[in-house]
Amino acid sequence: MRKFCIRFLMLCLIVITAGCSSTKEIILQTIEPSPVHISQKIKRIGIVNRSILPELEEDETGLNGMVAAEEQWLSEQGRNAALTGLFNELLKDNRFETIKILDSVPHEILHFEMGNDSISWTSVENICNTYDVDAIFSMAFFDTETKVSIKKTSMMQPNLMRVKVKVPAQELTLETLIENGWKIYYPKSKEIIDEIVFNDQVISRGKGTNPIEAYKAIEGRKETLVEQSKATGSNYGQRLLPFENSVERSYFARGTANFEQACVLVENGDWPGASQLWERELDNSNSKIAGRACYNMAVMHEINGDLTSAINWATKSYKEHENKDALEYLDILKYRSFQNQILEQQVSR
């Protein structure tokens, strides 16, 4: 009984503490710049495939041989699908004038240098000059690996009388990992602008009276794997574009009756009405209250997209009223302002 009382009191304390919090949280939708910054001088893109097809193990037989043969097929079809996915995404990007898949580049030009997994800059410049492009998007590698597992189970199967009965069976699970690496080469600055690896997994299952029949019972595996491969190329193309993001912000909801009333208005989407109530507290004789009002005005201006005013209000909250929360918020606002400058460069092309 005593332990129950202690736990109950602790729970009440947590609820009271949460209920008495001086701040409330809101979610703000922002547009973030692409993590990959492409120079405005890059107008023409060449896409190359320097991944190497794995060799088929000739001694594989039975189920392992069938899976190995399918992986060989996937390696060829999957990399083509990934290149197509990237090509289609880049076509939508109006920053670029020309997009080419360079499938006629001699393979010896794309060979690895000893101790280096990148294309040599001499080769990159040669490709760019030959095909009249400014930068090279390279599929560095495309690898697949499938883990096979089998377990005993049962299944319904028609007997000689065409009546479905339960029979012993085996369930086959194929877990295929698709690993796809990309690099962007810009020869004028001899810079690898970006490099990234995507990992995706596709799980397929089938049942049969034996492993071979279970394998044959798996439906749509090839199509799924090719579509997933295409998505890796598409995802890389989208990585070059600005993206939407959800960020969390706090505002002060307690301190005076005006703060509490403003909180109700914010929850109903009435930011102008809330800001009018906060403005009444800007000259409050209690510096703590005035600092909170300044902070909330900063949040309101960020919501409205005016980062300059938001920074000014956050600065005032910190410098004039020593609101420590405002200092952290000020760093966030300054970073957002810097990111917006990059965003403007990316969308103004």
Say what the pLDDT of residue 138 is.
93
Length of the chain: 349
Confidence of residue 4 (pLDDT cuts 50, 70, 90): very low
Q: What is the mean pLDDT of the chain?
A: 86
Asked whether the predicted pLDDT for residue 12 surpasses 60, the reply is: no
Say what the pLDDT of residue 111 is.
65
Asked whether the predicted pLDDT for residue 300 surpasses 80, the reply is: yes
Q: All domains of the chain, ordered by start, with CATH?
A: 44-145+178-243 (no CATH), 249-347 (1.25.40.10)
Rounded to whole angstroms, what are the CA distances from 19 to 24, 67, 195, 299?
A: 10, 58, 47, 22
Partner residues linked to 26 by β-bridges: 249
Say what the pLDDT of residue 113 is.
55
Rounded Cα distance between 179 and 217, Å, is: 26
Say what the pLDDT of residue 127 is.
93
- pLDDT greater at residue 301 or residue 109: 301
Say what the pLDDT of residue 119 is.
87
Rounded Cα distance between 55 and 76, Å, is: 11
Asked whether the predicted pLDDT for residue 14 surpasses 60, the reply is: no
Say what the pLDDT of residue 59 is.
56
Which pLDDT tens digit goes with each residue over 44-68?
Answer: 999 999 887 666 565 555 788 888 8
Placement of tokens 């086959």 in the chain: 172
- C-alpha triplet 27, 33, 34: angle, nearest 5°: 120
Rounded Cα distance between 25 and 45, Å, is: 44
Over residues 292-302, the mean pLDDT reads 97
Picking from 296, 248, 286, 252, the residue whose alpha carbon sits closest to that of residue 22 is 252
Cβ-count burial of 162 within 10 angstroms (0-12 exposed, 13-18 middle, 19+ buried)?
A: exposed
Which pLDDT tens digit goes with each residue over 216-273?
Answer: 999 888 899 899 999 999 999 998 888 899 999 999 999 999 999 999 999 999 999 9
Which pLDDT tens digit goes with each residue over 93-108?
Answer: 888 999 999 988 887 7
Asked whether the predicted pLDDT for residue 163 surpasses 90, the reply is: no
Torsion angle of alpha carbons 70, 173, 198, 116, nearest 10°? -60
Give the rounded percent of residues in the chain with a pLDDT score beyond 70. 89
- pLDDT greater at residue 160 or residue 205: 205
Collapsed DSSP state (helix, strand, coil) of residue 324: helix
Confidence of residue 18 (pLDDT cuts 50, 70, 90): very low
Two tokens, residue 94: 């109006």
Asked whether the predicted pLDDT for residue 84 surpasses 50, the reply is: yes
Say what the pLDDT of residue 106 is.
82
Rounded Cα distance between 312 and 301, Å, is: 10
**Contact by Cβ (8 Å): 317, 323:** yes
